[in-house]
Every structure is written in structure tokens, then in C-alpha cells.
Amino acid sequence: MTSRPPQMQAIILVGFMGAGKSSVGPVLAEHMSWRFEDLDDRIERREKQRVAEIFRNAGESEFRRAEHEALQELLQELQSGSKKVVALGGGAFVQESNIGLIEAANLPTVFLDAGVDELWARCRRQSEKQGMERPLLGSVEGFRELYEKRRQHYLRASLRLETGGKAVEDIVAELIRALDLGPRRGRQGETK
């Protein structure tokens, strides 16, 4: 079992598109009485554009620059005491410079994993039902190839959790057990 670092400031959720980072994150944050943050939201606030627009207007490399800067800013803020569950976009924990920053901050990282067919099905559903725009969704072949290429990086996370066919609440319960996060916390982080 992975044990919790003594003064944990954040838990970082990583994984491919459709892994459930943005569904698991808020439920885990609620358990911890911490805030939830999606790094893509910070990027959009800083750049004053939607992620899809950054890709369209400036290209992926510009998005990666914005993503790296947003991550740096977030990690800096965590040093001043705020506690958060953070969901990273699917390409963030792939860039060596980002992995380096997170490892240097000594924060626990959780790789939410699922079979690539399920990830694809979830993303297609989100795009059809919620109009979610993912610039890198592309074709099923490209999606599979990108997943295979990235998986080795995701495996550097402190913990891997299989999410295939599981309800969000069950994934969170598993994560709490694996990271030894204990009973629900009160506002100041005390258990209740």
C-alpha cells in the first residue's frame, strides 16, 4: 500500500482522455474537504480562450506552453498552503518538464486507467451528449496509438487505479483506501 506523505498538499489525477479525472476529482475533494481544480480551467482563465480555441488558433505547442505555465502557477500556490485535488489534462503528465515539476513537489499522483475501447466510448458519448470538444479525439486508430504512446508516462504515477466498468464512488473509495486517506475530513482537515 502507498502511504500518505506527512503534509500532503494535493492529490494529482492523471490519465488519458475519458479516464474520469474530472468525475472522480470533485468526489475525492469533497471527501478531503479540499477544493477541486481542473488544470484546463486554469489554462482557459489565464489564456482567456477555451482549450479548443487555443488548439485552433495557436496549435498544440502553444497549448503545451500554456499548460506548463499554468501548472507552475498552481504548484506555486500550493506552497502557500491551499490544498487541492487536481485533474490534469491527458497530455500534461506526458511532458517531461511537467512530470519533473510534480515529482520535485513530491505530490502523490494517481493514474486513472481503463481499456482504450472504454476510454474511446466514454469520449464519444461525452462529445455526442454534452458537446464536449476534445481537439485530440480524432480517429479511433489515432486515439489508440496516442494512448499506447502515453501509457508508459502515466505509469510513473504513484498509484494506478483501474476504472473500467466502475462507479465513481467505488473508484474514490478504492483511492481513499490505497492512499490511506482515512475518514471524511472537516473544514480544517480534521477527521469527522
Contacts with ligand S3P by CB under 6 A lie at 17, 21-22, 40, 51, 89-91, 134-136
Shortest spacing between CB 34 and ligand S3P, in angstroms:
19
Residue 4 beta carbon to ligand S3P: minimum distance, rounded to whole angstroms:
25
Which of 90/108 has CB closer to ligand S3P? 90
Residue closer to ligand S3P, measured from CB, 142 or 182: 142
Find the helix or strand (DSSP H, E) in which 175 lies: helix 168-178
Q: What phi and psi values does residue 116 have, to the nearest 5 degrees? A: -65, -30
Cβ(92)–Cβ(14) under 8 Å? yes
Radius of gyration of the chain (CA): 16
**CA-wise closest residue to 70 among 58, 83, 56, 86:** 86
How many Å apart are CA 50 and CA 61, to the nearest integer? 15
Euclidean distance between CA atoms 186 and 164, whole angstroms: 31
What is d(CA 85, CA 77) in angstroms, rounded to the nearest whole number?
13
Q: In angstroms, what is the minimal distance from the CB of 167 to ligand S3P?
A: 19
Smallest distance from ligand S3P to CB 52, Å = 7
- Residue closest to ligand S3P (Cβ): 89
Between 40 and 113, whose beta carbon lies closer to ligand S3P? 40
Closest to ligand S3P by CB, 25 vs 108, is: 25
